[in-house]
Each structure stands twice: as C-alpha cells, then as structure tokens.
Structure 1
Amino acid sequence: MLTAIHPKLPMRNKAVTREFYCNQLGFEEFGSADFNGYLMVQKDQIQIHFFEFTTINPLENYGQVYIRTKDIETVYRNFLNNGVAIHPNGPLEIKPWGQKEFSILDPDHNLLTFGQSSDTF
C-alpha cells in the first residue's frame, strides 16, 4: 500500500540548494547523515530530496512539484517576507480549475507550485 511520495529534483550546488530551501522557504535538513551529492529537506509533512547534477542547464530543467497547503495566504506572505521571487507566470490567484495557486523557481529552476483547494479557503 502506498503511503507517501518524496520527489527527487536535480541540484547543481548542495550549499546553494540548502540555503534556499532552509533559509528562504523554511525547510529543515532531514536525516542525520550528510551524503555526498544528496540532500533531503522537510517542512511539515512535505519532504523533497535532491541529487547532484552539476552540469544541468537550469533553463533546460523541467523538474516540477505541486505542494498542497491549507493556508496559502500565509505561505505566500512568508515567502514574500523572505525575499522569495514569485514566478512571473505564477502569481497568487484562483485558477479556472478552482485551486488558489502560486509558483516559484528554485536556484536550479525546479518549479514549485503551491495550491489550496477552493473548499478550504
């Protein structure tokens, strides 16, 4: 029986990825071992893993994750307060499919979309 999913995304530089996710997005590093070329972060019930891909061209990276939240306004406001850039094509808005969403890009251009169901806002 399936119980959870932990996406694996590419990263060029572990220190840069760690700084962005931990200091700007409020994640914490997960696990007690510091694996070479691998990083795991978590926040609340969300866990994201990263593998080293030093030669990836960020403009050709199509890594994407959709993260559901119950309080998108607070998440959005916290990111803005931490200087996180909102994707120019992903402002906070209610989409035609009824989700309130916004998107950001991480330093390697992995797209993170945050969404809240219309029945919870």
Structure 2
Amino acid sequence: MLTDINPKLPMRDKNITRQFYIHKLGFKEFGSADFDGYLMMEKDQIQIHFFEFKELDPKENYGQVYIRTDNIDSFYQSLLDNKTNIHPNGPLEIKPWGQKEFSVLDPDNNLLTFGQSI
C-alpha cells in the first residue's frame, strides 16, 4: 500500500537550489551521497527531490507542490524572518476551501504552496 510521496522538481543549478532550500526554507540535504545532477532535500517529515535540467526556462516551468503543515503561522513567520520572498499572488490567507495558505517560488520557478486546514 502507498506510504509516502517524494515529488521530483526540475533545477538548473544544484548549488543554487541547495542554498535556497537550506537558507530560505530551512530544509537540509537528505543522505550523504552527492549524486551528479540529483538533489534530495528534507524538512520535518517531507522530502523534495530535484533533477538537473540545465536548459529549463523558468518562465515555462509549471512545477508545483502542495505541502501541508500543522503550524502555518510559525512557518510563515520563519520565512519572513529569513527574508524569503512570498509569491506576490500567494500571501498568507484563508481560502474559500477551508485552508490557510501561502506560496513561494524557488529559483527555478517551482511553485511551493503551504497549507493548513482551519
């Protein structure tokens, strides 16, 4: 039976992606192996994997992940404290579908939406 999911998103530059997720979102690198063209990041109980796509045009990237949290206010504040840019169309707000959400774009234009049921 299904037990977990690890989304795979494109990245142009492994070091830039690594630094963004560590310093802006509070992730850490998963595992000790440094795979060529592949990166695994984790925070709490989730992992996001990245594959190298050097020719990626960020304006044409539609990579998206919806991440559920149980303390959205605290996480949102931690991102603000880290001077992480919140998506201009995705500020923290309560949505009509009963979720409190906000969104962030990573350096390759992957959309990360964080949400908590209210």
User: For the superposition of Structure 1 and Structure 2, which TM-score range results when normalised by the shorter chain?
Assistant: over 0.9
State the TM-score, normalized to the length of structure 1.
0.96
Runs of 4+ in 1 over 6 A off after TM superposition: none
The one-letter amino acid paired with 1:38 is Y
| Aligned-residue offset at 1:33 | 0.4
State the TM-score, normalized to the length of structure 2.
0.99
| Aligned-residue offset at 1:24 | 1.2
Any residues of structure 2 matched to 1:16-55 within 5 Å, and which? 16-55=16-55
Distance 2:99 2:106 in 1: 22
Secondary structure (helix, strand or coil) at the match of 2:83 reads coil
Secondary structure (helix, strand or coil) at the match of 2:116 reads strand
Any residues of structure 2 matched to 1:68-79 within 5 Å, and which? 68-79=68-79
Which residue number corresponds to residue 83 of structure 1? Answer: 83
Distance 1:112 1:10 in 2: 13
| Aligned-residue offset at 1:106 | 0.1
The one-letter amino acid paired with 1:90 is G
Which residue number corresponds to residue 60 of structure 1? Answer: 60
| Aligned-residue offset at 1:99 | 0.2
CA RMSD in angstroms, aligned pairs only: 0.4
The total of aligned residue pairs comes to 118
The one-letter amino acid paired with 2:52 is E
Secondary structure (helix, strand or coil) at the match of 1:47 reads strand
Structure 2 unaligned spans of 5+: none
- Residue 108 in structure 1 maps to residue 100 in structure 2: no
Distance 2:23 2:94 in 1: 28
Which residue number corresponds to residue 95 of structure 2? Answer: 95
